Homo-oligomer: A and B are copies of this chain.
């Protein structure tokens, strides 16, 4: 391990001068600089990032805690975050929390321990009360629908409006018995917010609220979507429209409907949420809500970077809600 001292000795200068060369400081004579660069190359010198981190009190790395990275939604989020961080010279460490509260708290600890300069937390296990226990000076940005309104910065989706728009679209396409495929709705989260939008749209259209049409699944997976669709058909529920709270669920639903011989969009129309890349290429292609992933990732990183750069707790916490667009494809009858 050659150190900066070794290079200094080999080049006949002080370590300080080597440091100045490395960091591109101006006050170094050309000849000196070249001597130093030559010595660095000859000794195959590498800066020790750990030492630099200790000295600077910064690691140049932010953490991203997500339930899992192997899902279209979270991997897209991760890609956007990594790219946005790279634009700012930051690296990203990824923690998979498995959607458990405990793992999410662990990720927060790692950040407090200065392994990360700050943390982007996709909260699924944690709730609002946990957020209130966060240290106010800890650079944290929360994503998702479980925590809003401080005391942390938050980046979220326009759940209510977008869901309402999606269901209204189904109504406009002639649907009258519209099912919702969502998760458990006992707490404030993605499912409960999108359920609210669904209900508003029904009310707007003067349609009845049939509780039977709200179908809860245990997880947002392809398998659960397919199972749920088959259940709906075999139980004789007979919806003519289905709004799924994620595209992954919707993909499973399309498959389940195919299994039971129900034509889409002929007999049932389907719309999802997230507009994942695959949706445009399914057969039939899937209509979806596009929440502007890139803007979310960019804003989340920007907020976190800003927090990292200020030592003081902020006067107020930011709330960013992305825009959305409705992407109409074959599963609801096409554009």
Contact = CB atoms under 8 A, between A and B. Distances in A.
A94 interface: yes
In this complex, which of A46, A70, A76, A251 has the most chain B Cβ atoms within 10 angstroms of its Cβ?
A: A70
A255 B278 CA distance: 10
A157 to B, nearest CB: 18
Interface residues of A, number: 54
Contact of A282 (B48, B95, B282): B282
Contacts of A54: 48, 50-51, 53-54
B113 A46 contact: yes
Contact of A69 (B78, B112, B251): B78
Given A49-B113, A53-B53, 19 more contacts: A44-B135, A46-B109, A46-B112, A49-B110, A49-B114, A50-B59, A51-B54, A69-B69, A69-B78, A70-B79, A72-B75, A78-B78, A82-B94, A82-B95, A82-B96, A92-B94, A93-B93, A93-B94, A255-B285
Interface in A44-87: 44, 46-51, 53-54, 57, 59, 61, 68-72, 74-76, 78-80, 82-83, 86
A69 B82 contact: yes
Contact of A283 (B83, B109, B282): B282
Contact of A78 (B70, B114, B255, B285): B70
A69 to B, nearest CB: 5
Contact of A50 (B50, B78, B251, B282): B50
A48 B114 contact: yes
Contacts of A134: none
Interface of A: 44, 46-51, 53-54, 57, 59, 61, 68-72, 74-76, 78-80, 82-83, 86, 91-96, 109-110, 112-115, 135, 222, 225-226, 251-252, 254-255, 258, 277-278, 280-283, 285
Contacts of A280: 222
Contacts of A70: 75-76, 78-80, 277
Contacts of A71: 75
